[in-house]
Amino acid sequence: MHFINPTKGSMSFDEMFQDILDFIAENPDSQYKLIVGSDSQSREQVCFVTAVVIHHIGKGGRYYYTRTYVRKMPSIKQRIFYEAHLSLDIASKLAARLSCTGHSDLNVEIHLDVGRNGQTRTMIKELVAQITGSGFAAKIKPDAYGAQVADKHSK
């Protein structure tokens, strides 16, 4: 799995993780949020993009993204749940790595591409329960800006 940072280009998961740690080390007394969000676009195949955002509260941040292509899915529900699965997978890897490097105080949030308007409103309760049941905070639209970062690169 490789990630892309708009400034630094392609990098492995390990390189991305080290870049996040280096970013935090620049201002270690500041507050940060680590956010994972996914979005997708369906054409001949479905393009899934998962973004990892390190948000330096009040000061901006950096982001990384990865793309995955899969065959067309029959329903939007299946696509949205797969987006959540991709986010949960990367968030779990990040959380495990954070706990091994002494950064377990940095909580990981998962931003879901669902909101109270539109087709996805019926999925909110189930998706939020899945994410919070896995130990992560869940955000939905309009607060799910991690999913909006992924949206930018899924088109």
* Predicted local distance difference test score (pLDDT) of residue 139: 97
pLDDT per position as a tens digit, 11-55:
999 999 999 999 999 999 999 999 999 999 998 999 999 999 999
The per-residue pLDDT for 74 is 85
> Considering the entire predicted model, what is its pTM?
0.95
Measured in whole angstroms, the distance separating CA 17 from the mean position of its chain's CA atoms is 13
Indicate the DSSP class of residue 14: H
Residue range 62-105, pLDDT digits in tens? 999 999 999 999 899 999 999 999 999 999 999 999 999 988 88
For residue 1, pLDDT beyond 90? no
Count of residues making up the chain: 155
The predicted pLDDT at position 67 comes to: 97
The pLDDT value recorded for residue 52 is 98
CB 47 within 8 A of CB 121: no
Quick: pLDDT tens for 122-138: 999 999 999 999 999 99
Contact 40, 47 (CB under 8 A): yes
The predicted pLDDT at position 34 comes to 98
Q: CA 3, CA 37: separation in Å to the nearest integer?
A: 14
Confidence of residue 107 (pLDDT cuts 50, 70, 90): confident
CB 88 within 8 A of CB 110: yes
Q: Which pLDDT value is given to residue 90?
A: 98
When pLDDT is cut at 50, 70 and 90, the band that residue 155 belongs to is: confident
